[in-house]
Amino acid sequence: MRRILLASAIIFLTACATQGVEEPSYAVQKSEGDFQVRTYAPTIVAETTVQGDAWSTRFEGFGPLADYIFAKGREGEKIAMTAPVTQAPREKIAMTAPVTQAESTSGAWTIGFTMPAGYTIENLPAPVSPNVKLVEQPARTMAVYSFSGVASDREMQQARDILLMKTTAAGLTPKGEAVFAFYDPPWTLAFFRRNEVMVEIATQD
pLDDT of residue 205: 59
- Contact (CB, 8 A) for 63 and 113: no
Q: What is the DSSP letter of 190?
A: G
Domain boundaries, the chain: 1-205
- Of 59, 64, 62, 81, nearest to 127 by C-alpha is 64
Bridge partner residues of 182 (DSSP): 85, 195
- Rounded to 5 degrees, what are φ and ψ at 31? -145, 125
| pLDDT digits (tens), the chain, 205 positions | 555 554 555 445 444 444 578 999 999 999 999 999 999 999 999 999 999 888 888 889 989 999 999 999 898 899 998 999 999 987 543 322 234 444 444 588 999 999 999 999 999 999 999 999 999 999 999 999 999 998 888 999 999 999 999 999 999 999 988 999 998 877 778 888 899 999 999 986 5
d(CA 48, CA 185): 20
From residue 129, how far is each of 17, 71, 104 by CA, in Å?
25, 11, 23
Spatial neighbors of 148 by CB under 8 A, at least 6 apart, are 190, 191, 192, 193, 194, 195
Nearest to 142 by CA among 123, 115, 163, 125: 163
Is 1-205 assigned to CATH 3.40.50.970? Answer: no
| pTM score, whole prediction | 0.82
